[in-house]
Amino acid sequence: MHPDNEDPLDMIFARALQGTSIFLSRDVLRTEYIPDQILFRDHQLKAIGGIFSPLLTGHKPSNLLIYGKTGTGKTVVTRYVLNRLLDKTKNTNLNVAIAYVNTRIASTEYRVLTEIGRNLDLQLPFTGLSISEAFKRIAYHIKERGSKAIFVLDEIDFLIKTSGDNLLYEFTRVNELLTQNSFVTLVGISNDLRFKESLDPRVLSSLNEEEVLFSPYSVDELKAILLDRVKYAFVPGTVDESAINLCAAMAGAEHGDARRAVDLLRVAGELAERENANRVEDRHVNMAAKSIERDRILEAIQSLPIHGKLILLAVSSFKDTENTGRIYAKYTEITKRIGIEPLTQRRISALLSELDLLGLVSAPVVSRGRMGRSKKIRIAIPQETVRASLMDDETIKALI
DNA sequence: CCTCCACTGGAAACCTAGGCTC
DNA sequence: GAGCCTAGGTTTCCAGTGGAGG
pLDDT tens, residue by residue, A66-86: 999 989 999 999 999 999 999
CB A85 within 8 A of CB A55: yes
Beta bridge partners of A379: A361
Phi-psi region of A277 (alpha: psi -120 to 50; beta: other; left: phi over 0): beta
Q: Is the shortest CB-to-strand distance from A110 to strand C under 7 Å?
A: yes
**In the predicted model, what is the mean pLDDT of residues A32-46?**
93
Q: Which residues in 148-207 of chain A line strand C, with CB less than 7 A from it?
A: 163
Closest CA to A179 of A139, A209, A132: A139
Of all protein residues, which has its CA closest to the C1' atom of B6? A372
pTM reported for the whole predicted model: 0.80
Q: Find and list the nucleotides of strand B having atoms within 7 Å of a protein beta carbon.
A: 3-11, 17-20
pLDDT grade for A10, boundaries at 50, 70 and 90: confident
Instruction: Measure the CA–CA gap between A350 and A301, rounded to whole angstroms.
Output: 17
Q: Find and list the nucleotides of strand C having atoms within 7 Å of a protein beta carbon.
A: 5-14, 16-21
A135 CA, C2 C1': Å apart? 28
**In the predicted model, what is the mean pLDDT of residues A359-371?**
95
Q: Is the shortest CB-to-strand distance from A8 to strand C under 7 Å?
A: no
Instruction: Measure the CA–CA gap between A154 and A105, rounded to whole angstroms.
Output: 10
Q: What is each CA distance from A85 to A44, A53, A77, A150, A182, in whole angstroms?
A: 15, 8, 12, 11, 17
Instruction: Measure the CA–CA gap between A362 and A355, rounded to whole angstroms.
Output: 8
CB A183 within 8 A of CB A148: yes
> In this predicted model, what pLDDT tens digit does every residue of A304-336 receive, in sequence order?
999 999 999 999 999 999 999 999 999 999 999
Q: Is the shortest CB-to-strand distance from A347 to strand C under 7 Å?
A: yes
Q: Is the shortest CB-to-strand distance from A339 to strand C under 7 Å?
A: no
Nucleotide with minimal C1' distance from the CA of A125 is B19
Q: What is each CA distance from A273 to A21, A26, A277, A292, in whole angstroms?
A: 7, 12, 6, 16
